[in-house]
Chain A
Amino acid sequence: MNILEKLKAIGLNFEKLKTISFLKISLNIDKSTHIEGSTVTINPEKLTGRQRHELRGIIRGEALDSAGVILDDDEATTVEEVVDSLPSIHEIADKLKPLIPASDVPLLNACLYLRLKFDRGESVDPLKAQIMRVYGTRGGNFANLCSAGYLETWFLPLYEDLLRANPDNPFEAKAKFVSLYKTILNELPWTEFVSAGTAAAKVTAHIVEKMNRNTANGVRYLNIHGLGERNVVKIFGLIPELERLTGAEAVQIDKDRSRIFVRLEIRRQIAN
């Protein structure tokens, strides 16, 4: 028995209705039911006690089963937008899902959705704040890495490299990948996302510290990202000082008015 039949069975007058595509529950209608096309609104307060009891059972059972989710109206639009974006999200998520901890898969999906909005030029600060509320700083780091394209340019190539280095032991390759993934997400060792609100002196100190740590670990570069007009000016103006303090050279500077990317790199010394 489908939902329509179940609702009819509890005495709701849906005789002319062939199918229901959209069921709304609301106390804000002045009768028990309202039908518009295949959209049905039910006001539980206008039902009899028995009907209300039966409706609870239908919602808990067949309704949730057939819809998959019962949503607050206020969130339905967002969820529908996400549903439309799922093919794009899955295109990249499916490659990374088997490699990362299962608990990070929702983070991956949310960050890919954020990136789609970011790429459309929409504001993503509220979404990033929500992600950080759930996953903390590493959630923000993941969002930054994802939006900057590092899933495709770093993480997946890193795994391919590890597979090539461990051709007979894919488990070892994955274990090493997970270890590096966790470090990258927690510490962002090779990348600095400069916040617009951070003072120039603090940015400089942080980048110098990171670059020095990288050099000590045999990593000779650091990628710097920044968004926002004032941030672009700030970061661009810091480059000479950063080069002087780290001994690195800005080998790549990509910038426009609203975003900047700088790659600091320490050139290898050529032995005599």
Chain B
Amino acid sequence: MKITFDKSARAFVLDAFGKTAKDGFVVERCNTAQKVLTPRGEEIPLDEFAGVRKGSAIFVKSDIVSLVEAAESMKP
């Protein structure tokens, strides 16, 4: 099964995982001073938020390194 969202629903998807956007970055909804990080410790600009992958909800950036990791998480 495949699940996608478009930009109009980005805030809803972030909200589903307890996140929101502030000052152009993905942050924790309950503590907006705390930026959400990728497993490599990178902050996630909102316009580079590409989705969420399984494994304690890992947030995916839109660079090719992260997208290849996302592809490996994808189930047929």
Q: Chain A: residues with CB nearer than 8 A to chain B?
A: 3, 20-28, 44, 52, 55-57, 59-60, 63-76, 78-80, 82-83, 86, 89, 103, 106-107, 109-110, 113-114, 127, 130-131, 133-135
A72 lies within 8 A of B6 (CB): yes
Q: How far is the CB of A171 from chain B (nearest CB, A)?
A: 27
Q: A56-B15, A134-B42 are in contact. Are A72 and B51 (CB under 8 A)?
A: yes
Q: A25-B12, A56-B16 are in contact. Are A71 and B68 (CB under 8 A)?
A: no
Range, interface on chain B? 35 or more
A79 lies within 8 A of B6 (CB): no
For B70, what are the chain A residues with a Cβ–Cβ distance below 8 Å?
Answer: 69, 71, 75, 79, 82
A79 lies within 8 A of B8 (CB): no
B12 lies within 8 A of A23 (CB): no
22 A-B pairs with C-beta separation under 8 A:
A20-B1, A23-B2, A25-B12, A28-B8, A60-B17, A67-B2, A67-B3, A68-B54, A69-B3, A70-B4, A72-B62, A74-B62, A75-B51, A75-B70, A79-B67, A80-B71, A106-B65, A113-B64, A114-B64, A130-B63, A130-B64, A131-B64
Among candidates B9, B49, B50, B74, residue contacting A25 with C-beta atoms closer than 8 Å: B9
Q: Chain B: residues with CB nearer than 8 A to chain A?
A: 1-10, 12-13, 15-17, 40, 42, 49-54, 57, 60, 62-75
